[in-house]
Amino acid sequence: MKLLFDLFPVILFFIAFKLYGIYVATAVAIVASILQVAYVYAKNKRVEKMHIITLALIVILGGATLIFQDEAFIKWKPTVVNWGFALVFLGSHYIGQKPIIRRMMDQAISLPERVWLNLSYMWIVFFIFSGIANIYVAYQYDTDTWVNFKLFGLMGLTLVFIIIQGIYISRYIKETGKQFDETEQRVMDASIETLADAELDSVSPAKSRNKPSDDKQ
């Protein structure tokens, strides 16, 4: 159910595009994203700054798409979001006491310092690559192909990345049996929530409730 909520805007965008075209789909995505953030705020009485920034991007770039009747603006949005996340993750190496990926996942798993750094760089590379892949498809293929890639292609890249991340992390997890399974599931959940923010413009109520205290640094 939670995954469906995370995918809410992009699923509506996909359906609206198939039925009515890119401009109606863009309007639907804007409204869906606003409703999603409003729901999270009503439920948790707060919204993460990154979620506000992501919402602002869909409103600005989506609005520009509708005003100028130019689909290039909305096509750039996933790239801008991904590259923005890459900058935030990289900046967290120099601002604050821990990389942002560690702040987000520290409660789920304990890893050596160098592994956290490597994991952070993996995410940075992933976000940069996803942004490049999106804009490549947007300009090299037709809009229908891009919309399919936005939902299925980026989702596929996300799942592959999560698997690679899980394999890498598993080398440093000392737990066995049920403890290992539970830890692996927590890591998977945290990864999906974070990647959903970047790829699908989703807002996760769970993450808003369980934000680590040092995330404010």
- CA-based nearest residue to 77, from 126, 17, 150, 140: 150
Is residue 188's pLDDT more than 60? no
- Mean pLDDT in residue range 81-106: 88
Contact present, 26 and 62 (Cβ < 8 Å)? yes
The alpha carbons of the chain give a radius of gyration, in whole angstroms, of 18
Q: Which helix (H) or strand (E) holds 89?
A: helix 72-91
Q: What tokens appear for 200 in the block?
A: 């699908």
pLDDT category, 177, cuts 50, 70, 90? very low
Number of H helices, E strands in the chain: 11, 0
Q: What tokens appear for 176 in the block?
A: 């066995």
This prediction's pTM: 0.76
Domain span at 38? 1-68
**Co-location of 170 and 189 in the same domain:** yes
- Mean pLDDT in residue range 9-28: 92
**Co-location of 114 and 33 in the same domain:** no
In whole angstroms, what is the distance from residue 15 CA to residue 7 CA?
12
Asked if residue 148 belongs to a domain, the reply is: yes
Asked if residue 212 belongs to a domain, the reply is: no
**Co-location of 76 and 44 in the same domain:** no
Is residue 199's pLDDT more than 50? no
Asked if residue 208 belongs to a domain, the reply is: no
In whole angstroms, what is the distance from residue 84 CA to residue 91 CA?
10
Is residue 209's pLDDT more than 90? no
* Window from 70-79, 89-98, 127-136 with minimum mean pLDDT: 89-98
Mean pLDDT of the chain: 80
In whole angstroms, what is the distance from residue 109 CA to residue 97 CA?
18
In whole angstroms, what is the distance from residue 151 CA to residue 189 CA?
19
